[in-house]
A and B are shown apart, each in its own frame.
Chain A
Amino acid sequence: MNCDWLKENLSAYVDGEMNFITRWRIKRHLKECLECSKELRQLEKIHKLSKLAILVSPESHFYDRLKAKLPKVETIEHKKNRVFENIWIALPQGGKAAILVGIALILFLSVIYPRLSSTSLNIDRFEKEYLLSQETLTCVGEPATSLILTSE
């Protein structure tokens, strides 16, 4: 990592837009390079001061003044029984993902997995039946021989 590359990418580094490995490499370079760490301090100062300079509150009673100008807007007709929809919308992204994974898992265990395991059961059953039939054959064979012998 050289200083020229870093100076062009320091802005994205300040914004937290680098992946873990690149961040680590930049941090390592900054520990050793006075010039680049000075550059970083300047960027951080610009960020802090600009934020303070830009962020202001609007004049008081902003909403009250706005309210008087708002047109009449038709709202969507209220429908009953939207409890699940409300819960779904209120859920954070992580909760939605967990529910979707859960549904996928239930579907897999109840529909796909039994089909997969039934194939293996069939093989087992086939093997048992085959062995059973072999035994039956020998059992059948013995009395047959004895029958032949007795008949002689």
Chain B
Amino acid sequence: MSISDEVLILKFKRGDKSSFRRLVEKYQSKVYSIVLAMIGDKNDADDLSQEIFIKVYKGLTQFNGRAKFFTWLYRITINTCINAQNTRKRKPETILMSYPVGEKENPLSTQLSQDTVRSPMEILENKELGMKIKLAIDSLSDGLREVFILREVEDLSYKELSKILQCPEGTIKSRLFRAREEMKKKLTPYLGE
């Protein structure tokens, strides 16, 4: 059984630094994925993800546990991304080639190739689909993009999303509906119906 976030935070407050490492390792991929999808540049995403965990480290002793840890973490993540977007210019072209060095392939292509793909041509088509999806996410308007990304990364409930983004559940529902409508329009040729 994995140790809960609450226990890890308590241990960290008592001086156990390894608990912070476990928290980072638990959430680093999700935080990095959110930042990369929001910002679009691999190097900036890495720097910002580190910045987010430094903020968490500094604030963790004051974290009172009234909200869930991930609600707090994702709020810091989204706020950091929004602040960065206001100061840095987005680089949407780099999102397309932003897979980590250690990773052999786009996970999307790997997944699809396991299902259906046989020929190199088809692999190429799926890579193209991966790029189209990223471009579609990137072109979502502000307000729609963060709620869509958060929902896809973590399968959070509307209640949790409303806490993170600090808006009513009804707004979350309508934003997700609009985001998916926009995604559908852009991806219709690839949805196979």
Residues of chain A at the chain B interface (Cβ within 8 Å): 8, 11-12, 15-17, 38, 41-43, 45-47, 49-60, 62-63, 65-67, 69-71, 73-76, 78, 86, 89-90, 92
Contacts and interface: CB of A to CB of B under 8 A. Distances in A.
A60 B102 contact: yes
A73 B61 CA distance: 8
Contact of B184 (A12, A46, A92): A46
B142 interface: no
Contacts of B6: 89-90
Contact of A53 (B13, B61, B130, B192): B130
Contact of B180 (A46, A59, A63): A46
Judged by DSSP, the binding face of A is helix
Interface in B102-139: 102-103, 107-108, 111, 129-130, 133-134, 137
A63 B32 CA distance: 12
Given A17-B157, A42-B191, A78-B15, 18 more contacts: A16-B157, A45-B191, A46-B183, A49-B108, A49-B129, A50-B133, A53-B108, A54-B36, A54-B37, A57-B102, A58-B45, A60-B102, A66-B24, A66-B50, A66-B54, A75-B13, A75-B14, A89-B10
A92 to B, nearest CB: 8
Contact of A58 (B13, B46, B111, B137): B46
Nearest to B30: A55
A47 B152 contact: yes
B74 interface: no
A59 B36 CA distance: 12
Contacts of B25: 63
Interface string B54-69: 1001101100000000
A66 B153 CA distance: 22
